[in-house]
Chain A
Amino acid sequence: MKSGDAFGFSRRGVLVGGSAAGAVLVHAGPVQAAPAKGDVPVTMPVSLEVNGTRHDLQLDTRTTLLDALREHLHLIGTKKGCDHGQCGACTVIVNGERINSCLSLALQHQGDKVTTIEGLGTPDKLHPMQAAFIEHDGFQCGYCTPGQICSAVAVLGEIRRGVPSHVQEDIVAAPAVSNQELRERMSGNICRCGAYSNIMEAMQHVAGESA
Chain B
Amino acid sequence: MKFETPAGKNPIDQLKVVGRATSRIDGRLKTTGNAPYAYEQHDVAAHQAYGFVVGAAIAKGRITAMDTTLARAAPGVVAVIGTLDHAQPLPKSRFNTAHLFGGPQVEHYHQAIALVVADSFEQARAAAALIRTDYAREPGQFDLAKAAPDAPLVPGSKGKPDVARVGDFDTAFTQAPVQLDRSYTTPDESHAMMEPHATIAAWDGDRLTVWTSNQMIAWGKASLATTLGMPPEKIRLNAPFIGGGFGGKLFIRADVVLAALGAKAAGRPVKLALTRPMMMNNTTHRPATIQRVRLGATRDGKLTAIAHSSASGDLPGGDPEAAVSQTQLLYAAPHRETFMKLAVLDLPEGNAMRAPGEAPGLMVLEMAMDEMAEKLGMDPVEFRILNDTQVDPAKPDRSFSQRHLIECLRTGAEKFGWSKRNPKPAQVREGRWLIGMGVAAGFRNNLLMKSAARIRLERGGRLTVETDMTDIGTGSYTILAQTAAEMMGVPLDAVTVKLGDSDFPASAGSGGQWGGNNSTAGLYAACVKLRAMVAQTLGLSENAHFADGKVIEGEKALPLAQAAREGPLTAEDLIEYGTLDKQYQQSTFASHFVEAAVDAYTGETRIRRMLAVCDAGRILNPKAARSQVIGAMTMGVGAALSEELAVDKRFGYFVNHDLAGYEVAVHADIPHQEVMFLDYPDDKSSPMKAKGVGELGLCGVGAAIANAIYNATGVRVRDYPITLDKHLEHLPVLA
A117 at the A/B interface (Cβ < 8 Å)?
A: yes
Task: Given A34-B130, A137-B626, A195-B630, check contact A123 B34 (CB 8 Å).
Answer: yes
B195 with A141: CB separation less than 8 A: yes
Q: A197's contact among B40, B62, B673, by CB below 8 Å, is which?
A: B673
A34-B130, A137-B627 known; A200 and B659 CB under 8 Å? Answer: no
Asked if residues A141 and B193 are in contact (CB atoms below 8 Å), the reply is yes
Contacts of B195 in A (CB 8 A): 79, 81, 141, 143
**CB-nearest residue of chain A to B271:** A71
Other-chain residue from B26, B73, B630 in contact with A198 (beta carbon distance below 8 A): B630
> Contact at A193–B244, with CB atoms within 8 Å?
yes
Out of B121, B242, B273, name the residue touching A141 (CB < 8 Å).
B242
Contact of B668 with A134 in the complex, beta carbons under 8 Å:
no
Task: Evaluate whether A74 and B35 lie within 8 angstroms (CB atoms) in the complex, with A28-B132, A189-B667 already known.
Answer: no
User: What residues of A have a CB within 8 angstroms of the CB of B193 in the complex?
Assistant: 141, 143, 192
Which residues in chain A, 22-52, are within 8 Å of chain B measured between CB atoms? 22-30, 34-41
A44 to B130, CA, bound (A): 24
Please state if B627 and A192 are interface contacts (CB–CB under 8 Å): no
Interface string of A96-130 (1 = CB under 8 A from B): 00000000000000000000111011110010001
Whether A37 pairs with B75 at a CB distance below 8 angstroms is yes
- Is residue A84 contacting chain B, with contact meaning CB distance below 8 A? yes
Q: A27-B132, A187-B666 are in contact. Are A145 and B626 (CB under 8 A)?
A: no
Given contacts A19-B137, A23-B137, A198-B627, contact A130 B194 (CB under 8 A): no
Stretch at the interface among B165-173, B409-417, B467-475, B588-596: B467-475
Instruction: Report the separation of the CA atoms of residues A63 and B136 in the bound assembly, to the nearest whole angstrom.
Output: 36
A55 at the interface (CB under 8 A from B): no
Which of chain B's residues 127-161 have a Cβ closer than 8 Å to chain A?
129-139
Q: Among the listed stretches B300-308, B539-547, B631-639, which one makes contact with chain A, having 4 or more residues with CB under 8 Å of it?
A: B631-639
Interface residues of A in 148-164 (CB under 8 A from B): 149
A198 to B635, CA, bound (A): 15
With A26-B135, A29-B133, A192-B194 as known contacts, state yes or no: A197 contacts B660, CB within 8 Å. no
Chain B residues within an 8 Å CB radius of A195: 627, 630-631
B433 at the interface (CB under 8 A from A): no
B658 touches A149 (CB 8 A): no
Task: Check B134–A41 contact: CB distance below 8 A.
Answer: no
Complex Cα–Cα for A20 and B368 (A): 39
A86 in contact with B73 given A63-B122, A134-B28, A197-B673 (CB within 8 Å): no
Report Cα–Cα, A62/B123, bound state, in Å.
Answer: 9
B667 touching A186 by the CB < 8 A rule?
Answer: yes
Whether B276 contacts A143 by the Cβ 8 Å rule is no
- Tell whether A76 is near chain B: CB-to-CB under 8 Å: yes
B residues within 8 A CB of A62? 122, 126
CB contact between A140 and one of B36, B76, B126, B628 (< 8 Å): that residue: B628
B631 to A130, Cβ gap below 8 A?
A: no
**A200 to nearest B CB, angstroms?**
7
**Residue A89 is within 8 A (CB to CB) of chain B in the complex:** yes
A171: Cβ under 8 A from any B Cβ: no
Nearest residue in B to A78 (C-beta to C-beta)?
A: B33
Q: What's the nearest-Cβ distance from chain A to residue B76, in Å? A: 7
Tell whether A93 is near chain B: CB-to-CB under 8 Å: no
Residues of A within 8 A of B138 (CB): 19, 22-23
Q: Are B70 and A194 in contact (CB under 8 A)?
A: no
A47 to B191 alpha-carbon distance, docked (Å): 39
> Please, which residues of chain A bring their CB within 8 A of the CB of B665?
194, 196
Judge whether A41 and B135 touch: CB under 8 Å.
no
Indicate which residue in A116, A118, A123 contacts B28 across the interface (CB closer than 8 Å). A123
Q: Is A56 close to B, CB under 8 A? A: no
Asked whether A194 lies within 8 Å of B633 as measured between CB atoms, the reply is yes
Interface size class for chain A?
35 or more
Residue B74 CB within 8 A of the other chain: yes
Asked if A192 meets B42 with Cβ closer than 8 Å, knowing A60-B122, A126-B28, A137-B23, the reply is no
Within B32-53, the residues touching A (CB, 8 Å) are 32-37, 39-40, 42
Q: Which residues of chain B from 220 to 243 have a CB within 8 Å of any chain A CB?
A: 241-243
B70 pairs with A140, CB closer than 8 A: no
A142 contacts B32, C-beta separation under 8 Å: no
Residues of B within 8 Å of A, CB-based: how many?
89
Which residues of B are found within 8 Å of A118, using beta-carbon distances?
32-34
Query: Which chain B residues in 1-50 approach chain A with CB under 8 Å?
Result: 23-24, 26-37, 39-40, 42
Q: Which residue of A lies closest to B28 (CB)?
A: A123
Whether A194 and B134, one on each chain, are in contact in the complex, defined by CB atoms closer than 8 angstroms, is no
The residues of A that contact B464 with a CB separation of less than 8 Å are: none
The reply to whether A30 and B129 contact each other, CB–CB distance below 8 Å, is yes
Q: How far is the CB of B36 from chain A (nearest CB, A)?
A: 6
User: Chain B: which residue is nearest A116 at the CB level?
Assistant: B33
Known interface pairs A137-B627, A197-B672; A117-B33 also in contact (CB < 8 Å)? yes
B207 within 8 A of A: no
Q: Is the CB of B33 within 8 A of A77?
A: yes
Determine if B73 and A84 form an interchain contact, defined as CB atoms under 8 angstroms apart. Answer: no
A-side contacts of B658, CB under 8 Å: 82, 84, 86
Known: A194-B635, A194-B665, A195-B630. A141 touches B244 (CB 8 A): yes
**Per-residue interface assignment for chain B, residues 406 to 424, with 1 indicating a CB less than 8 Å from any chain A CB and 0 otherwise:** 0000000000000000000
Q: How far in angstroms is the closest Cβ of chain A from B519?
A: 16
Q: Do A25 and B243 form a contact, CB below 8 Å, given A76-B36, A192-B193? A: no
Residues of A within 8 A of B76 (CB): 41
User: Which residues of chain B (58-115) have a CB below 8 Å from chain A?
Assistant: 58, 61-62, 64, 67, 70, 73-77
Q: Are B276 and A86 in contact (CB under 8 A)?
A: yes
Q: Which of B121, B664, B667 contacts A183 (CB 8 A)?
A: B667
| Interface presence of A87 (CB below 8 A) | yes
Interface centre among B626, B631, B664 (most CB of A within 10 A): B631
> In the complex, what distance in Å separates the CA atom of A39 from the CA atom of B39?
28
Does B624 have its Cβ within 8 Å of any Cβ on chain A? yes
B497 is an interface residue with CB less than 8 A from chain A: no
CB of B671 closer than 8 Å to a CB of A: yes
Q: Are B57 and A20 in contact (CB under 8 A)?
A: no
Would you call A41 and B123 a contact (CB within 8 A)?
Answer: yes
Contact with B along A173-195 (1 / 0, CB 8 A): 00000010011101111111111
From A20, A26, A135, contact of B139 by CB (8 A): A20
CB pair A41 B122 closer than 8 Å: yes
**CB pair A133 B61 closer than 8 Å:** no
Say whether, besides A76-B42, A140-B473, A192 and B664 are in contact (CB < 8 Å): yes
- Any B CB within 8 A of the CB of A205: no
- Asked if A135 and B131 make an inter-chain contact with CB atoms under 8 angstroms apart, the answer reads no
Cα A202 to Cα B567 with chains together (Å): 44
Residue of B whose beta carbon sits closest to that of A183: B667
Interchain CA distance A76-B241 in the complex, whole Å: 13
A144 at the interface (CB under 8 A from B): yes
Closest 6 CB pairs of A and B: A77-B33, A194-B634, A29-B132, A143-B243, A140-B473, A141-B473
Hey, which bits of chain B sit against chain A, CB under 8 A?
23-24, 26-37, 39-40, 42, 57-58, 61-62, 64, 67, 70, 73-77, 120-123, 126, 129-139, 191-196, 241-246, 273, 275-276, 472-475, 623-624, 626-628, 630-635, 650-651, 658-660, 664-668, 670-673
What would 6 A/B residue contacts be, using CB atoms closer than 8 Å? A27-B133, A28-B135, A39-B75, A143-B243, A179-B672, A196-B670
Q: A20-B139, A179-B672, A194-B632 are in contact. List 6 more A-B contacts (CB 8 A).
A: A28-B135, A67-B121, A87-B276, A126-B28, A183-B668, A188-B666
